[in-house]
Amino acid sequence: MNLSAKGRHRLFFAIDFEDDFKDKIAQWTLLLDINGRRVAPENYHLTLQFLGDVNNHQVFDIIDTMEIPEIKPFELSINKTGYFPKNELLFCELDEGLEKIQTLSTFIAKNLQSLSFIKREKKRFHPHITIARDAKPPVDFEVLENITTKIKYFCLMESIFIKSGIHYEVVESWPLYTPTDKEKILGLDLL
């Protein structure tokens, strides 16, 4: 477990992407005329469930309630931008993997039901990858071919405020699926 030294932590469950996927998104965003604050590529992630501020003891309660889902690794791809005018966020819209992401978000929320200190999301879940904040409405822009990655795990992350902005740190991670011994012997765990 990797937590900041302070007593309270701003936490959320998310998909933290491999560096090569983050690099591909960053290369694509260079083609965009972004009128706003670009998100640093190392901070690209997909939020599954926002938890808010919790204390040290509650972090352990959160980790203890989480189980490994029966969701096999899956492909996720992006192919165009989207925009939230209220929050002035420019984001990558999901093309492939949306249903699995929604299933995973529901799974996490169900695991957290017993924890009364968790903030409950009231707004509709719209999975996305934020690429700019304080942005003006963009021109719709599509990728010529989808940018794709394989999702194999999800994690609990902490938002840490530093002088240069916000940094996201992985606190704990869980695989999406634990194959049975039979699946391992037959090579089905590699699919």
pTM over 0.75: yes
Q: In this structure, what is the dihedral angle of CA atoms 108, 110, 113, 115, given to the nearest 10 degrees?
A: -30
**pLDDT band (50, 70, 90) for residue 6:** low
Task: Tell me the chain's radius of gyration from C-alpha atoms.
Answer: 17
pLDDT at 76: 96
Distance CA 43, CA 120 (A): 24
pLDDT tens readout for residues 113-166: 988 877 666 678 899 999 999 998 876 677 667 899 999 999 999 999 888 788
- Counting Cβ atoms within 10 Å, is residue 186 exposed (0-12), middle (13-18) or buried (19+)? exposed
Q: List 54's β-bridge partners, or say none.
A: 9
189: which residues sit within 8 A by CB, 6+ positions away? Answer: 179, 183
Q: Which fold has domain 10-190?
A: Cyclic Phosphodiesterase; Chain: A, (3.90.1140)
Residue 188 has pLDDT above 70, yes or no: no
pLDDT tens readout for residues 162-186: 887 888 999 999 999 877 778 778 7
pLDDT at 15: 97
Q: Is the dihedral of CA 49, 54, 56, 60 positive or negative?
A: negative
Distance CA 135, CA 42 (A): 19
Residue 30 has pLDDT above 90, yes or no: no
Average pLDDT over every residue of 1-18: 82
Note the Cα 56 to chain centre separation in Å.
22
pLDDT at 78: 94
Q: How many helices (H) and strands (E) does the chain have?
A: 4, 9
Distance CA 144, CA 191 (A): 27
**pLDDT band (50, 70, 90) for residue 14:** very high
Tell me if residue 160 falls in helix, strand or coil.
Answer: strand
Nearest to 101 by CA among 49, 141, 170: 49
**Mean per-residue pLDDT over the chain, rounded:** 88
Does 82 or 137 have the greater pLDDT score? Answer: 82
User: Which stretch of 33-42, 67-76, 182-191 has the lowest confidence by average pLDDT?
Assistant: 182-191
Distance CA 78, CA 107 (A): 23
pLDDT at 165: 80
